[in-house]
């Protein structure tokens, strides 16, 4: 891979509204790119900015590598510095992009994500879980911890359950705020997600999402209290409802969904 950095950082002034914090440390940039598995058929970089990650992928991956960037100024910069990208440099909003037009399977997503929309980025990934086999991304440290958290942990929450239902998630390493321009107020971390073998959750997916969200919205309450409106009298005394949401594994949320579905009457949501 090419190692020299041909970018001129001063050409794009970081915009707060777009969550722009440009990574300035070449070794970290390389280390992030190295986490990509070689088997992806399509690689999409989200928000390339001035191309600190792009420069380490553009040569090796050319032909299967796309960049989606929303900022006009960054796009102009990337066009000049990475002309070989051609049509594969796309000006647009990743959250609205139709990812299936870039590949049907084995797709990887990489990026130093704009932190203000990182959960939306993960929900967009989830929408394309049939295509996206891998995500390597830098996010706010707390977000990375939540994504990778297991049941029983304080940080285990909606995103942990909904993402881990489909992806194995590893917290890779922490990144200090002073390697960004401008430095963010929080620490960052890189995570890697790999699609697991699940093709069918084993329960009604929509209801699963509703239950997980509802349960964690009042995470200190027992499931009996937070889910009460959807529980029929014949299951409400079941002892699983004495638990709090952070005590349940993914599998237990699936079982819980099936339990509620089995008794769902016309008046239950
Ligand atoms: N990868 C670069 C920039 C990271 S900052 C680096 O590490 O230095 C986040 C980048 O995401 C910015 O370039 C910002 O313009 C871009 N961005 C923000 N919202 C976006 C969206 N909805 N879709 C695509 N790119 C977006």
Shared domain for 103 and 236, answered yes or no, is: no
Shared domain for 216 and 258, answered yes or no, is: yes
- Is residue 200 domain-resident? no
Shared domain for 60 and 163, answered yes or no, is: yes
In the Cβ-directed half-sphere of 221, how many Cα atoms lie within 13 Å?
11
Q: Which atom of ligand 1 is nearest to the CA of 20?
A: 5
Shared domain for 86 and 104, answered yes or no, is: yes
Shared domain for 255 and 217, answered yes or no, is: yes
Q: 43: which 2 tokens?
A: 């690689």
Q: How far is the CA of 206 from the centre of ligand 1 (A)?
A: 30
User: Ligand 1: residues within 6 Å at CB?
Assistant: 18-23, 46-50, 52-53, 68-71, 74, 93-95, 111-112, 114, 117
- Is residue 122 domain-resident? yes
Q: How far is the CA of 146 from the centre of ligand 1 (A)?
A: 22
Q: Which atom of ligand 1 is nearest to the CA of 71?
A: 15
Question: If you average pLDDT over every residue of the chain, what do you get?
Answer: 93
**Residue 6 pLDDT more than 60?**
no
pLDDT in the model for residue 7:
52
36-50 pLDDT tens trace: 999 899 999 999 999
Shared domain for 91 and 164, answered yes or no, is: yes
- Is residue 4 domain-resident? no
Q: How far is the CA of 15 from the centre of ligand 1 (A)?
A: 10
Q: Tell me, what CATH number does 217's domain have? A: 1.10.8.100
Shared domain for 122 and 247, answered yes or no, is: no
**Residue 3 pLDDT more than 80?**
no
Q: pTM of the full predicted structure? A: 0.92
- Is residue 11 domain-resident? no
Q: How far is the CA of 170 from the centre of ligand 1 (A)?
A: 22
Q: How far is the CA of 149 from the centre of ligand 1 (A)?
A: 26
pLDDT in the model for residue 266:
44
| DSSP per-residue codes, 98-128 | -GGGT-SSSEEEEEE--GGGHHHHHHHHHHT
Shared domain for 47 and 92, answered yes or no, is: yes
Shared domain for 126 and 104, answered yes or no, is: yes
223-233 pLDDT tens trace: 999 999 999 99
Shared domain for 117 and 226, answered yes or no, is: no
For ligand 1, atom 8, which residue shows the shortest CA distance?
A: 22
Task: Report how far residue 165's alpha carbon sits from residue 90's, in angstroms, rounded to the nearest whole number.
Answer: 30
Q: Tell me, what CATH number does 178's domain have? A: 3.40.50.150
80: containing domain = 16-195
Per-residue CA distances from 240 to 32, 122, 162, 233, 259 (Å) = 41, 29, 20, 14, 10
Q: Please count the structural domains in the chain.
A: 2
């Amino acid at each position: 891979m090419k190692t020299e950095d041909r970018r001129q950082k001063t050409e794009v002034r970081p915009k707060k509204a777009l969550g722009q914090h440009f990574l300035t440390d070449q070794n970290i940039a390389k280390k992030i790119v190295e986490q990509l598995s070689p088997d992806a058929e399509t690689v999409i970089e989200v928000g390339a900015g001035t191309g600190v990650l792009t420069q380490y992928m553009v040569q090796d991956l050319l032909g299967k590598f796309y960049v989606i960037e929303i900022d006009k100024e960054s796009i102009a910069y990337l066009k000049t510095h990475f002309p070989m990208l051609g049509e594969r440099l796309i000006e647009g909003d990743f959250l609205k992009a139709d990812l299936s037009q870039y590949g049907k399977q084995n797709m990887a997503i990489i990026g130093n994500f704009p932190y203000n929309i990182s959960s939306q980025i993960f929900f967009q990934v989830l929408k394309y879980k049939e295509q996206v086999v891998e995500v390597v991304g830098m996010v706010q440290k707390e977000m990375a911890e939540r994504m990778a958290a297991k049941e029983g942990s304080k940080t285990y929450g909606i995103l942990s359950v909904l993402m881990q239902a489909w992806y194995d998630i590893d917290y890779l390493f922490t990144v200090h705020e002073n390697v960004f321009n401008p430095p963010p107020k929080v620490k960052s971390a890189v995570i890697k997600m790999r699609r697991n073998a699940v093709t069918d959750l084993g329960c009604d997916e929509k209801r699963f999402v509703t239950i997980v969200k509802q349960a964690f919205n009042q995470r200190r309450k027992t499931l009996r209290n937070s889910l009460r409106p959807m529980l029929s009298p014949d299951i409400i005394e079941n002892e699983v409802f004495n638990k709090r949401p952070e005590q349940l594994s993914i599998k237990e949320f699936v079982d819980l969904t099936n339990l509620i579905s089995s008794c769902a009457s016309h008046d239950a949501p």
